Copies of this chain bind each other. A is one copy, B any other.
Amino acid sequence: MMEIINKFKGKGFKLTPQRLSILKFLDGNTSHPTAEDIFKALKKTHPTVSFATVYNTVQALRDRGELQEITIDPEKKHFDPNTAPHHHIMCTACKRVEDVFADYSSALQLPENVSKNFAVSGNHVDFYGICKKCRS
């Protein structure tokens, strides 16, 4: 937590109480929350908070490379404070998104005809399935 605060010191990023609350919620969070999830959590400590604050903060964090946007769910965006390269799996029944920690990098070579046309900046693998809970 102290880490986080120091990370943003003197970067033109103001550490407001609202932002601290969001940062605390996101710190080590592996639930891949949506903007609404963050908003709900934030309302507990800041009942009068605005949705715009959530989007503003999310955007500021994204711009600073401290938060990544997950595209696995066709319905809505999820966010992930873990910016290390990793992958995800979503249960198509309950929509929960879980982490997949595996290094596929050496296998994910692009075919010649694509690699010659793109300066590649990254990749991720999305898996889909049904989780144990949803089968019982």
Chain A contacts to B: CB under 8 angstroms: 69, 71-74, 77, 89, 91-92, 98, 100-102, 104, 107-111, 114, 117-132, 135
Residues of B within 8 A of A118 (CB): 89, 91, 127, 129-132
Given contacts A71-B73, A74-B69, A74-B71, contact A111 B122 (CB under 8 A): no
Report B-chain residues with C-beta under 8 Å of the C-beta of A109. Answer: 102
Copies of this protein in the assembly total 2
Contact A123 B120 (CB under 8 A): no
A62 to chain B, nearest CB (A): 10
Please determine whether A100 and B120 come into contact, CB atoms closer than 8 angstroms. no
Distance from A117 Cβ to chain B, minimum over Cβ atoms (Å):
5
Q: Determine the chain B residues whose CB is within 8 A of the CB of A127 once the complex forms.
A: 108, 110, 114, 118, 120, 122-123
- Contact (Cβ within 8 A) A120 B128: yes
Contacts of A69 in B (CB 8 A): 74
Residue of B nearest to A126 (CB): B124
A119 interface neighbour in B73, B77, B104, B130, Cβ under 8 Å: B130
Residues of B within 8 A of A119 (CB): 129-130, 135
B-chain residues with CB within 8 Å of residue A130 when the two chains form the complex: 118-119, 121
